[in-house]
Chain A
């Protein structure tokens, strides 16, 4: 446990690990917003979430290739992905939206491997990255470090979180979305065009993922097959945070990012992924045991 000793000796490092985790968690939070939205409103667990994220990155890559400064693509990539999401809804998703949750899991899994391969065919299998042009800020004699692009990510998450909350609360479409998520049948009777609501929700999710992907291609790297990581992480966050609770999603995402970083540091990088999935199983089982106990009390 030498690694723990290092953390005790250098508290600034412990803080840095947490900050790094939170900054990565911010990007995960975006993908998780979208997943919670689609899950809550449409009762679909979107396995293609990671591919949407990656495609956002490729959108940024393509747009920078056309001469647009990378940072300007941040608002453009979501627009591109909104359209992609809409098209996918119109082709496939509307057919599975009322079905069993399990059917939609498999359908979106199919979409996910199709998209992976399509990206591979179009862009080639190379690892891609885009230089944002932003730098890293250092504090306290280099002891602490904040990359500007990641701070931007945190800012965007908060903007998206607030924006989403306002959108759902006070716009007509937002109210329609909430009504549909509560009871689609009743909403339909009251004159809500649920099909349009679903399409908007799904496209909105793709757009949010697009923003996340745009940030990832500027902070880390992407490849056609690296989406799965984001699907799994956003799923984990939603499970922990619950549906329809935007602040909880942000907290869970930051927490996951930080926990993962600590695990990688203390246990060694080879246990970083194992830790995440161990956590997933423990949380699900633990949550169930907890609920079980509550049920007993009620009796």
Chain B
């Protein structure tokens, strides 16, 4: 199959470009790191929204939980967390490179697992919801989490929390986070590719197309739904820690549980690229991020007007996303498969 070989050529090319990028464009490393984050946001959202038809507005919840859990683990290994976050902040605490690395190495997986477990627990109640009730319920969860984090003194409440900062002696800070985030995206991409290619992918597509029928066919829909949400939550939680450390300040509403920015962006990026495809979210996130950076540079003060207009244009004219549009235009080239056709064969 040449198709498979072509795939590997493509992956190789992207991989080489991604590894070379921070060395070729050293001054864009932070923006590129955020690009990986955006791609991760779109990909993890698409598991639920695109492949399974469960439009979640609250996935940012798991990102925020991951950010806080990781920061608490990083601090908690060496200091008393409550004293560290107290608003008086009268104690200067620094972290040695090895403390920082161990903290992050432990904090990230713990955060990922915590997010996944939380997804399973919340899923028990939330995943029974359908359609827009699910969308709104998850939106509520996201904002609720922000408010609770903002009221909990242990993690700094409304004053936010400064996670351990990147210490000297570990080389370039942007490059470090660039490769951590790149690694998470690669892991997520291949995990999803593997999941979508097997029974799991078929099952969650069936849930999207007709959940009642899928259930009637004997599919344990709840189990699949929980796993899907858990996978999504795991990768978001994993990313939370390094992003918190990269930004250097965790604000409950604006960094960790940033529902009105990242929480909505992840949905838009997936739609822009094409819901329910593996490449769609990647392409959508890339275009969205670059456009956004350009708006922010050239349209000082008007950027959100432009952004609002762009969002409207995207959803009005590209509801199928770029991948959907390409498929319609060039079905022979873009892997037009029978089950993707909205009209069905021979219609």
Contacts and interface: CB of A to CB of B under 8 A. Distances in A.
Direct touch of chains A and B (CB < 8 A): yes
Interface of A: 45, 92, 95-96, 99-103, 105-107, 109-118, 121, 228, 232, 235, 239, 270-271, 273-274, 277-278, 280-281, 284-285, 287-289, 292
B147 A110 contact: no
Contacts of A289: 125, 128
Given A270-B150, A284-B129, A121 B301 contact: yes
13 contacts: A106-B264, A109-B264, A109-B311, A110-B310, A113-B307, A115-B308, A121-B305, A270-B158, A280-B136, A284-B129, A284-B137, A285-B126, A285-B128
Interface stretch (B22-30, B103-111, B215-223, B312-320): B312-320
Contacts of B308: 110-115, 117
A11 B61 CA distance: 40
Given A114-B305, A285-B125, A107 B133 contact: no
Contacts of A100: 319
B147 A277 contact: yes
A106 B79 CA distance: 44
A270 B159 CA distance: 13
A41 to B, nearest CB: 16
Contacts of B301: 121
Best-buried of B55, B301, B305 by chain A (most CB within 10 Å): B305
Q: Which 4 pairs across A and B sit closest by C-beta, in order of nearness? A: A114-B308, A110-B311, A274-B147, A117-B304
Interface string B256-269: 00001000100110
Contacts of B125: 285, 289
Given A235-B136, A274-B148, 12 more contacts: A101-B131, A102-B135, A103-B316, A107-B315, A112-B308, A113-B308, A273-B143, A284-B136, A284-B140, A285-B126, A288-B129, A289-B125
B264 A281 contact: no
Contact of B268 (A106, A274, A278): A106
A171 to B, nearest CB: 30
Contacts of A110: 307-312, 314-315
A114 B310 CA distance: 10
Contacts of B55: 102
Given A281-B137, A284-B137, A106 B132 contact: no
B20 interface: no
Interface size range on B against A: 35 or more
A111 B148 contact: no
Nearest to A267: B151
A138 B144 CA distance: 37
Interface residues of chain B: helix, strand, loop or mixed (majority)? helix
Contacts of B137: 280-281, 284-285
B305 A271 contact: no
B302 interface: yes
B229 to A, nearest CB: 15
B245 interface: no
A174 to B, nearest CB: 26
B233 interface: no
A96 B128 contact: no
A274 B129 contact: no
A278 B137 CA distance: 10
B38 to A, nearest CB: 17
Nearest to B304: A117
B120 interface: no
A281 B140 contact: yes
B124 to A, nearest CB: 9
Interface string B287-331: 000000000000001111101111110111001000000000000
Given A106-B268, A270-B151, A111 B312 contact: yes
Nearest to A239: B136
Nearest to B124: A285
A107 B311 contact: yes
Contacts of B319: 99-100, 103
B158 A103 contact: no
B141 interface: yes
A298 to B, nearest CB: 14
Contacts of A274: 144, 147-148, 151
Contacts of B302: 117, 121
Given A277-B140, A285-B137, A114 B312 contact: yes
Contact of A117 (B129, B151, B305, B316): B305
Contact of B315 (A103, A228, A271, A277): A103
Nearest to B271: A106
Contacts of A271: 147, 151
Contacts of A288: 128-129, 133
A32 to B, nearest CB: 14
Contacts of B268: 106
Contacts of A112: 308
A61 B254 CA distance: 30
